[in-house]
Amino acid sequence: MRILIVGSGAREHALAWKCMRSDLTERVFCAPGNGGTGGMAHNIPIAADDVVGLVKFARREGVGLAVLGPEAAVAAGVGDALRDLDIPVFGPGRGAGRIESSKAFAKRLMSEAGIPTPAFEVFTDPEPARRWARERDGRVAVKADGLALGKGVVVASSPEEAEAAIAELLVARSLGQAGTTLVLEERLEGPELSVLALTDGREVVPLAPARDFKRAQEGDRGPNTGGMGAYSPPAGLAEGLIEDVVGKVLEPAVARLRAGGDEYRGVLYAGLMLTAEGFKVLEFNARFGDPEAQVVLPRLESDLVPLMLSAARGSLASSPDLRWKAESAVGVVVASGGYPGEYRSGYPIEGLTQMPEGVIVFHAGTRYEPGRGLVTSGGRVLTVVALRDSVPAAREAALAGAGRVRFPGAYFRPDIAMETV
Ligand code: AMP
Ligand code: GLY
């Protein structure tokens, strides 16, 4: 089968890597892919949100399964357009994708379906928003309604901080259209957990849980990023927690979407906070997490392709044969100096042939330049992943690998997965 993977990050490289291990796979195309996917699959120069280009390509090449990586592809309606051609798509249509692309939509859906989530209110005017924040002493999360690549959330500790965030979004319009509606949420405390599940719109099959590290700097300091690393499985999860999340979060969400006419096929990601009063949903994503995919997929023993295909066709078994490696996986992101702010690109990358044994490097912001070889081309450049018998051993190997990557300004967090020591 010919598989089209839409996107260009390390998540998509991990998906391509996993698909290449399937007997069902004849060829993998990545649109547009990166310097890593180009070496193992076929990169095609079509942007992830170029609906017309992707449709033409998929029809011409006889694509038998399309996999949507980034939210931009979901929000552009790539899934709907390919499904109109009867191509099985692993990834929701634009309607079901609102569970990620509109935080107000997601919060209303959670209220209606009785899914545990922090108390909230939706605002389009600054004054009532400021009042709501002041009543909570400024301990609120201020969230832009629309997609903002991880930059749309400010977790405030004081009324001044909350008011500044409200003013930035609603008055200065710092995120443009994405920030014209705000969600304010009570601020909670606790460790976070990412639970991703395959679904065909009815059945929900959880994958191994993961935890990502969103802040740029060691010790959870600095600005939020797309994710600086992840590990799986996280330590100290209560017995039965994942089953509980399936029954109280993922199944009701999928059922509610279906009731509203939006059948969800693909991977649904619940971002949870484990509070003293139980888990609460902070956000949904309509796709694999990045960097979660880079640590979850290498732990999966089973063939992913038939699973994605049956989810895409609406025929996922209620308990398919999912086998997992007992080993733990730790993924460390190597980023460009300055990310998530401004950074420079185009630097040659060295050291990739000197990885410790069994360490996998998934590319993100890389590309091949004729005559120069592999150069940096983005903020998150690579995810270095190690599987070992324990989290500390996996962390040590992943860090050793990350330390061997060389380009000017390269940085990574040395404390990914550290909490379990
Ligand atoms: P989100 O995109 O909604 O998941 O928010 C991004 C990050 O902001 C989360 O991963 C949390 O670390 C933090 N955050 C979001 N909402 C809250 C909340 N209600 N209380 C505390 N932290 C939050
Ligand atoms: N790692 C968080 C995300 O993919 O949105």
Domains of the chain, by residue range, sit at: 2-93, 119-186, 189-313, 328-403
**What's the whole-model pTM score?**
0.96
Cβ 3 vs Cβ 90: under 8 Å = no
Which residue in the block uniquely carries the two structure tokens 């209303």? 108
Predicted pLDDT at 27:
98
Query: Average per-residue pLDDT in the chain?
Result: 96
Q: Which ligand is nearest to the CA of 71?
A: 2
Instruction: Look at ligand 2, atom 2, and give the residue with the nearest C-alpha.
Output: 289
- Ligand 2 proximal residues by C-beta, below 6 Å: 212, 227, 285, 289-290, 292
Q: Average of pLDDT values for 140-150?
A: 88
- Ligand 2 atom nearest to CA at 292: 1
> Identity (one letter) of the amino acid at 392?
P
Nearest protein Cα to ligand 1, atom 18: 187
Task: State how far the Cα of 392 lies from the Cα of 388, in Å rounded to an integer.
Answer: 8
> What is the second-level CATH architecture of the domain 2-93?
3-Layer(aba) Sandwich (3.40)
Distance from the first to the final alpha carbon of the chain: 43
**Span from the CA of 72 to the centroid of ligand 2 (angstroms):** 13
Pick the CATH number of 328-403 from 1.10.10.10, 3.90.600.10, 3.40.1280.10, 3.30.360.10: 3.90.600.10
- Say yes or no: domain 119-186 is CATH 3.30.1490.20: yes
Could you say which DSSP state residue 167 is in?
I
**Nearest residue by C-alpha to atom 7 in ligand 1:** 153
Given this model, what pLDDT does residue 420 score?
44
Q: Indicate the pLDDT class of residue 421, thresholds 50, 70 and 90.
A: very low
Residue 118 is predicted with a pLDDT of 97
pLDDT tier at 174, thresholds 50, 70, 90: confident
Amino acid sitting at position 176: G
Residue 305 has pLDDT above 90, yes or no: yes
Whether 185 is in the pocket of ligand 1, judged by its Cβ within 6 Å, is yes
How many CB atoms within 10 Å of residue 171? 9
Q: Return the closest-CA partner of residue 336 out of 291, 384, 368, 380.
A: 380
Could you tell me where the DSSP H helices lie in 170-303? 241-245, 251-259, 292-296
Closest ligand (CA of 274): 1
pLDDT of residue 318: 85
pLDDT of 125 higher than 80: yes
CATH 3.30.470.20 fits 189-313, yes or no: yes
